Chain A
Amino acid sequence: MNHLSLIITREYLTKVRNKSFIIMTFLSPLLIVGIFGLVAYLSNLNNDTVRNISVLDESGLFAEDFESTSHTKYKLLFNVPLEDAKAEAEKNEIYGLLYIPKSENLESLSEGITFYSQDSPSLSMMKDINNMLESKVNILKLKDAGIDSQLINDLRIKVAANQVTFKGEETSKMGSGLKLVFGGAAGYLLFMFIIIYGNMIMRSVIEEKTSRVIEVIISSVKPRVLLLGKIIGTTLAGITQFLIWVILSFALLTAISAIFGVDVAGGAPSQQVIQQGVDGGAEQIVQDVIREINNLPIANLVIMFVLFFVGGYLLYASLYAAVGAAVDSETDTQQFMMPILMPLMLAVYVGFFTVIDNPHGTVSQVFSYIPFTSPVVMLMRIPFGVPLWQQLISVAILFLTFFGTVWFAAKIYRVGILMYGKKPTYKELLKWLRY
């Protein structure tokens, strides 16, 4: 075996066999899914409590409209004075008392409606009650004016503008959502990957320094080969962990949703599906989603994802390794982490605020060329359609910078791994480049 594969194997095996790595790998999805399950379970539990509400309808107009549900039970009171009803409700610990006064006209009646309760009532429940009363009052008002409310409903026409690109491809609002999900997921995944495994590389460099094994190693291997082997080995361990996370999370989510009957797998898009489902029917939605996915530049997305992911990750990984080489212990890294984390955070903020707002605005464009932010920002822009030449320029800038940083990191690394004691200043780091 040559040096590089020996180093990669060692790095990979020590990472994968490490106890805390194994625990993290299997515990993280359990924790995440567990918390998710707990929330789902608790909210189920919350919904299970039945609210008893007394209704004192002196007007007699709403008698037929209160339909009890599994969560809310209405009890109609008749011919009881308000004070007695209130006292009764409080004594029996009833959730609330809805009072509708008798009145000459609907306006003053509406103003007189009152909900009495022990504490502030649930917002969602009040909204339901208000909506119900409001629509009923409106129907009555129309009736007073001699208009048939059914007729109005029948005459109403819905408008949803068809969205078509100039090339004739149909788009839809759901398409934009889908693009956001794809782009956001890609960008965020890269961000997480850089943070987690960049740190791991840094720690492994520091470990070699603190255990003083480094000089033994580099008397056999070129520092550049060691650096490369470290990055590749750690990355492979990272990919292994990520894959296990994905598989485990998926399996667990499926299991949980089966047990609790909650649609957890759907997540964010499911809400859109439900909303549109009201308008267009479920089948139409599924067709729309499939069509939108087909409309996405899948091949472009995948190729660029790989390029930006590799370029962006390696760019940052080499910087992390350089930081590890420059210091003696993890506590000293803070000062050097700032310049790494700042552009990374900036990329994510620009991605999630600016790109979502306007994928092709000036800010989005500029940040998708700057190599330290382009992997995240460009990945988020691509689903919205970025001309190929722009993508290629961005990739070219990224890889040129990547070679620059690797050169820089290798220099710092080569000198830094043999420097013990004092934490270097930025000025000294620059000096190292000339050693």
Chain B
Amino acid sequence: MEKLLEVNNVSKHYGDYKALNDVSITVEKGSIFGLLGPNGAGKTTLIRIINQITMPDSGKVILDGEPLQPHHIQQIGYLPEERGLYKTMKVGEQALYLAQLKGLSKQEAKARLKYWFDRLEIGDWWDKKIQELSKGMAQKIQFVVTVLHTPKLLIFDEPFSGFDPINANLIKDEILKLRDDGATVIFSTHRMESVEEMCDHIALIHKSNKILDGSLIDIKREYRSNTFEIGLVTPDHVATTAALKEKFEIFPASFKSINNELQYKVKLPDSSSSNDFVSFLTAQGQLTHFVEVVPSASDIFIETIQKN
């Protein structure tokens, strides 16, 4: 895959405080990259460095093969976490202003705004002031303004905050569509279910250091623990539990089922295969449920942070 963005060994200090320590990430073209981390980990600092709002103390950022330069600002669309619009300015005027700051001509900006406003069915807000709109409505405008200049790289910091579930879904679909149209997305959020759903690749930053990086699937593979959730119909629950306990580590499990069965999560030793385990189980009784427990993004997040 082609790389769109490379951040190489970037460090940043604020006084004595180290906000980023030698962080490197690579974002592939046309992918959605999840930038994760607890509050205050340094995500925003990294995003601001990519946006050239802050300059790094050391390290390099390369966008589409070129070291970052002022004109690259026009190829990036940034939706900051701390966002807002001029409250007393009218929607249309404001959108035009922000679009022109991103390098669009007035006519071009007008045409594109019309397309987006029609698409999101917000055309009649044009002459309203931002302070007359609800928070969710203002967020929609903000989203449009962020993507209007068709940037190569889109950076969304908590894009769904302030949206109701319907609108959050709408925005999610728009982001996916933008990705399909060729944009690359960096996505920072605490909502792990969105990460699960959308991200191809994640990086985890903790206390100014990158502690995890890779494609979501690879990471999940790496984090799987050879654990299976099972349902087993046996005549003697106590005996079977004892037999399981003897050979494996077992944890209680609970899932909906029509059978009156024994439910457990079972961790196999790293060396043993699932086939042997299935043979063992079928010898004990009738196997009704067998699923590998795959760690969720949230599990991975918590586990990695705790390890460090």
Chain A interface (Cβ within 8 Å of chain B)? 1, 3, 6-7, 10, 14, 18, 207-208, 211-213, 215-222, 418, 420, 431, 434-435
Determine if B76 and A219 form an interchain contact, defined as CB atoms under 8 angstroms apart: yes
Q: Which residues of A contact B86 (CB under 8 A)?
A: 14, 207-208, 211, 213
Chain B interface (Cβ within 8 Å of chain A)? 14-15, 48, 51, 53, 70, 73-74, 76, 78, 80, 82-89, 97-98, 100-102, 142, 145
Q: Which residues of B contact A431 (CB under 8 A)?
A: 15
12 further A-B pairs in the complex, CB-CB below 8 A; given A6-B101, A213-B86, A220-B101: A1-B100, A7-B101, A14-B86, A207-B86, A211-B87, A212-B82, A215-B82, A219-B51, A219-B53, A219-B78, A220-B73, A220-B102
Once bound together, how far apart are the Cα atoms of A218 and B74, in whole Å? 12
Q: Which residues of B contact A216 (CB under 8 A)?
A: 78, 80, 83-85, 98, 142, 145
Once bound together, how far apart are the Cα atoms of A221 and B53, in whole Å? 9
Q: Which residue of A lies closest to B85 (CB)?
A: A213
Once bound together, how far apart are the Cα atoms of A43 and B13, in whole Å? 69
Determine if B101 and A221 form an interchain contact, defined as CB atoms under 8 angstroms apart: yes
Once bound together, how far apart are the Cα atoms of A434 and B192, in whole Å? 37
Q: Which residues of B contact A10 (CB under 8 A)?
A: 97
Determine if A222 and B78 form an interchain contact, defined as CB atoms under 8 angstroms apart: no
Pick the residue among A7, A211, A213, A218 that contacts B53 (CB under 8 A): A218
Pick the residue among B51, B83, B101 that contacts A212 (CB under 8 A): B83
Q: Which residues of B contact A207 (CB under 8 A)?
A: 86-87
Pick the residue among B15, B53, B70 that contacts A418 (CB under 8 A): B53
Q: Which residues of A contact B80 (CB under 8 A)?
A: 212, 215-216, 219
Q: Which residues of A contact B70 (CB under 8 A)?
A: 222
Once bound together, how far apart are the Cα atoms of A47 and B98, in whole Å? 63
Determine if B101 and A3 form an interchain contact, defined as CB atoms under 8 angstroms apart: yes
Q: Which residue of B lies closest to A213 (CB)?
A: B84
Pick the residue among B14, B53, B100 that contacts A215 (CB under 8 A): B53
Chain B CB within 10 A, most for which of A7, A218, A431: A218
Q: Which residues of A contact B98 (CB under 8 A)?
A: 216-217, 220
> Ordered nearest first, which 6 A-B pairs have the shortest CB separation?
A212-B84, A215-B80, A220-B101, A219-B78, A211-B84, A219-B51
A/B interface sample: 22 pairs, CB < 8 A: A6-B97, A6-B100, A6-B101, A14-B88, A14-B89, A207-B86, A211-B86, A211-B87, A212-B80, A212-B82, A213-B86, A215-B78, A216-B85, A216-B145, A219-B51, A219-B76, A220-B73, A220-B102, A418-B48, A431-B15, A434-B15, A435-B14
Once bound together, how far apart are the Cα atoms of A331 and B181, in whole Å? 48
Once bound together, how far apart are the Cα atoms of A273 and B163, in whole Å? 73
Q: Which residues of B contact A215 (CB under 8 A)?
A: 53, 78, 80, 82-83
Once bound together, how far apart are the Cα atoms of A153 and B88, in whole Å? 75
Q: Which residues of A contact B102 (CB under 8 A)?
A: 220
